[in-house]
Structure 1
Amino acid sequence: MSPLRNSPVDSGRSARRGSGSARRGAAALLSAAGLVVGGLLAAGPAGAATAAPHASPTASGTAAVPTHRLCAQPAAPGYMACNAVARTDVKPHLSLSRGLTPSGFGPADLQSAYKLPANAGSGQTVAIVDAYDDPNAEKDLAAYRKQYGLPDCTTANGCFKKVDQNGGTKYPKADAGWAGEISLDVDMVSAACPQCHILLVEANSANMDDLGAAVNRAVAMGAKYVSNSYGGSEDSTDATSDEKYFKHPGVAITVSSGDSGYGTEYPAASQYVTAVGGTSLKKSSTARGWTESVWGTSAGGEGAGSGCSQYDAKPAWQKDTGCAKRTVADVAAVADPATGLAVYDSYQASGWNVYGGTSASAPFIAGVYALAGAPGATDTPASYPYAHASALNDVTGGANGSCSPSYLCTAGSGYDGPTGLGTPNGTAAFTK
């Protein structure tokens, strides 16, 4: 089991779930083993992030960097933690001097790495579901998009909309950690699909029932792509939550696989969602111009989540034999903070930062689904990559821990747990 889910830590929140609701185990603080000291990043060309030579190497060959998790850990069963992490060796910049660009990968880097069209997705709406309020969400999104020359996405022009879980404007209380998560989410959707509209639905709390209500609200408001960057322990009532919150035919729902290495989380384990793992992404001299490996550490601290569900049924399209039930993940994208993403967040931190975690890969893949076009009305879009596996970049190196059978935590040719079937190589794998 992942350390994220074994030791309850009180975050000071005390709300309780109603009778009959699914209950998740509380999560633990990040293992100190995952916080390996790295070097300082200066503002420089997008995608040019490098760590100091003395940083300890990870199992996938990427230099480890010091990080912290953005969100408070769950106070009680039934609560979720967001899967975003921030580099602590990168000095935030509220603004950049002339001629400088943010550290971390930007939209052009990601579009190049994953061969994404820059002008597709017009008219599609990607919904982001998060807990609590980010008062600066629209302002920070504008700063990110201006920096990279992306089209304006505002309330005024109809591109951006923020609602509470009831579809109104009675926003929940603000939370600095979840505000950072929201910044990461909206920036990653923007990077993947600059022409897409963004619907931000803010749940009243990190309770699964509130987050699930926000998912249902997003779908009711017409979103065909819904990203969820949070998770908690599985339990025996997950199937009930699946039916209540995640069974939406014709809607592509993405969920981050977790940031604590080998071990499964809910709702990534839901049979109705696309569980998104994480990679380390580097520029290279290969024909693709980029290389990827599993995001994982030799110490078993941070890394993309993977493994066998204890409770969720295996979907018909998933054919691996190591798990009798649902296997996590399905696909992946960059998540390693050491090869992290430029994000503008003025509420959690002072402007430009480098963030990572599978909270980056889940909204990015939601954006890729939007680029690919509307799903079939009765389809479960999580099945699409399994029908088009050859249209993905197969990730064959790295591991997120030790396990048996080994493919559940170690990359190899074909399907593996941490990266699923692979990463986007255009949009063909995300179509019917």
Structure 2
Amino acid sequence: MRTHSPGRPSGQRGWRRAGTAIAATATLLLAGFGTAVQADAAQSAAAATAARTTWTATPCATPAHRGELACDSYRVTGGLTAFQKQQAARTGVTPKAADASTPSGYGPSNLQAAYGLTSAAASNGTGETIAIVDAYDDPKAEADLATYRSYYGLSACTTANGCFKKVSQSGSTTSLPSADSGWAEEISLDLDMASAICPKCNILLVEATSATMANLGTAVNRAVTLGAKYVSNSYGGSESSSDTSYDSSYFNHPGVAITVSAGDSGYGAEYPAASRYVTSVGGTALATSSTTRGWTETVWKTSSTEATGSGCSAYDTKPTWQTDTGCTKRTVSDVAAVADPATGVSVYDSYGVTAGWYTFGGTSASSPIIAGVYALAGTPSSSSYPASFPYASAGTSALNDVTSGNNGSCSSSYLCTAKSGYDGPTGWGTPEGVSAFTG
């Protein structure tokens, strides 16, 4: 696996349907996170601020076989995350870097607070099912989910109590795909984020036989057949002329909120985020602040090849609810959520790596977060396309408008640079409650 530091490109991660891939290790110096530090905490806080966060692309970011798609996730490998630095600033105690014995990223209460979801998460979601679609099998999925939920005080979600179900793309609970340690990390990330945002929701994990679009698309259809109204997809690859047929075969499901990560390779569209029928989810860097909201966000960008995706589809027709003029066809993204690994989320995994707590980033985190928000908002009407819902709330307090940062360079600047209102990297913004995600 090749590695690199920010600003040193090592390929085009994201354009990988033909099997081209890179894996990256990135470093980022973070400063300014957290509140004022008392005198007796100054030394510890300074040490925390100076610590570098390092991360690497998860193994499923490199397709195992030609023709497979890749997951959009990074795992932190060293240094202190923004969460740890904030904790150090408050307590004066600098935590141990890269310590898998305790969480080092944002947990459910942080994410719910950042996106105005605390009250909704406490009362909404009962009876709703979020489907997570990934490739290959994670043999420890249910056990790892139990550890995550127990640590954060969330109710048990198990096969026995009917909250959790794992099936193959055929719907079988016993004949599952072969196990894959890289995709197991992705699965842990997705399950934990769905739990963090919608603790009362049921979770359906649908495992595709492999990471081809045909198998992953079949898994999407299976999720819908089994009753899921919210389906998260944290993978992608280069666009192709087949995408419009994939749209009709796998993603045209009125009444179902289908979310897809926008990609982690910077400016440029990938599929299925470019499908006209899905909610394409971009990525941000999330940090505490002294604002009324208490949080601030910018476009996630580490380097030109390590940043949230955005851009114009080459093939997919522009949906009627999208009216920006820089793309004649579908524009990516629609909304966004946290994705920067340096401001990443806590995940428990015991199959892909040494058992323990890890911090993850990438737009693989953003997609299940937004699927959870849709679930908190309630069941979409049977004839609706939930991708259109945020557009009805455009420019209102129902969304946090992200106005700074970029994910590269482009001819129509709003497609790669944040601004007031709609932009490519973050769409209409991040959730502030659930009203922008209702019909």
TM-score range, shorter chain: 0.7 to 0.9
Per the alignment, in what secondary structure is the counterpart of residue 353 of structure 1? strand
Per the alignment, in what secondary structure is the counterpart of residue 219 of structure 1? helix
1:371 equivalent to 2:376? Answer: yes
1:36 matched residue in structure 2: 27
1:43 matched residue in structure 2: none
Asked if the contact 2:28–2:342 (Cα under 8 Å) also holds between the matched residues in 1, the reply is no
Q: Give deviations 1:47-73, integer Å, cap 9, x for gaps.
A: xx9996557xxxxxxx76333334152
2:150 aligned residue (138, 146, 150): 146
1:285 matched residue in structure 2: 290
Q: Give deviations 1:266-305, integer Å, cap 9, x for gaps.
A: 00000000000000000111000000000012x3131110
Q: Which amino acid aligns with 2:56?
A: T
Per the alignment, in what secondary structure is the counterpart of residue 174 of structure 1? coil
**Structure with the higher helix share, 1 or 2:** 2
1:406 matched residue in structure 2: 413
1:333 CA displacement: 0.4
2:232 aligned residue (204, 227, 234): 227
Change (3 A) 1:226 1:153: same
1:332 matched residue in structure 2: 336
Q: Give deviations 1:97-149, integer Å, cap 9, x for gaps.
A: xxxxx111000001100011222111100000000000000000000001100
1:265 matched residue in structure 2: 270
1:103 equivalent to 2:120? Answer: no
1:77 CA displacement: 5.2
Change (3 A) 1:392 1:196: same
Asked if the contact 1:70–1:181 (Cα under 8 Å) also holds between the matched residues in 2, the reply is no
Per the alignment, in what secondary structure is the counterpart of residue 118 of structure 1? helix
Any stretches of 5+ residues in structure 2 without a counterpart? 1-8, 31-44, 80-96
Change (3 A) 1:193 1:236: same
Q: Give deviations 1:138-179, integer Å, cap 9, x for gaps.
A: 000000001100011000100000001111021111111100
2:212 aligned residue (199, 207, 213): 207
Per the alignment, in what secondary structure is the counterpart of residue 18 of structure 2? coil
Per the alignment, in what secondary structure is the counterpart of residue 409 of structure 2? coil
Asked if the contact 2:261–2:367 (Cα under 8 Å) also holds between the matched residues in 1, the reply is yes
Equivalent residue runs for 1:22-421 within 5 Å: 24-30=17-23, 35-36=26-27, 53=49, 65-74=54-63, 78-89=67-78, 95-96=101-102, 102-116=103-117, 117-119=120-122, 120-168=124-172, 169-297=174-302, 299-349=303-353, 350-389=355-394, 390=396, 391-421=398-428
Asked if the contact 2:19–2:63 (Cα under 8 Å) also holds between the matched residues in 1, the reply is yes
1:429 equivalent to 2:411? Answer: no
1:28 CA displacement: 1.9
Change (3 A) 1:138 1:76: closer
Q: Which amino acid aligns with 1:263?
A: G
When the two structures are aligned, how many residues end up with a matched partner?
392
Asked if the contact 1:82–1:231 (Cα under 8 Å) also holds between the matched residues in 2, the reply is yes
Q: Which amino acid aligns with 2:71?
A: C
CA RMSD, aligned part only?
A: 2.1
1:58 matched residue in structure 2: none
Per the alignment, in what secondary structure is the counterpart of residue 368 of structure 2? helix
Structure 2 length-normalised TM: 0.85
Q: Which amino acid aligns with 1:296?
A: K
Change (3 A) 1:76 1:152: closer
Identity %: 64
Q: Give deviations 1:16-66, integer Å, cap 9, x for gaps.
A: xxxxxxxx3333204x6x623669xxxxxxxxx9996557xxxxxxx7633
Which structure 1 residue ranges, 4+ long, deviate > 6 Å from structure 2? Answer: none
Asked if the contact 1:25–1:234 (Cα under 8 Å) also holds between the matched residues in 2, the reply is no
1:5 CA displacement: 4.4
Any stretches of 5+ residues in structure 1 without a counterpart? 9-23, 40-48, 56-62, 97-101
Asked if the contact 2:137–2:183 (Cα under 8 Å) also holds between the matched residues in 1, the reply is yes
Partners in 1 of 2:131 and 2:46 — Cα distance? 32
Q: Give deviations 1:353-390, integer Å, cap 9, x for gaps.
A: 00011000100100000000000101110000001121
1:15 matched residue in structure 2: none
Asked if the contact 1:26–1:233 (Cα under 8 Å) also holds between the matched residues in 2, the reply is no
Asked if the contact 2:14–2:264 (Cα under 8 Å) also holds between the matched residues in 1, the reply is no
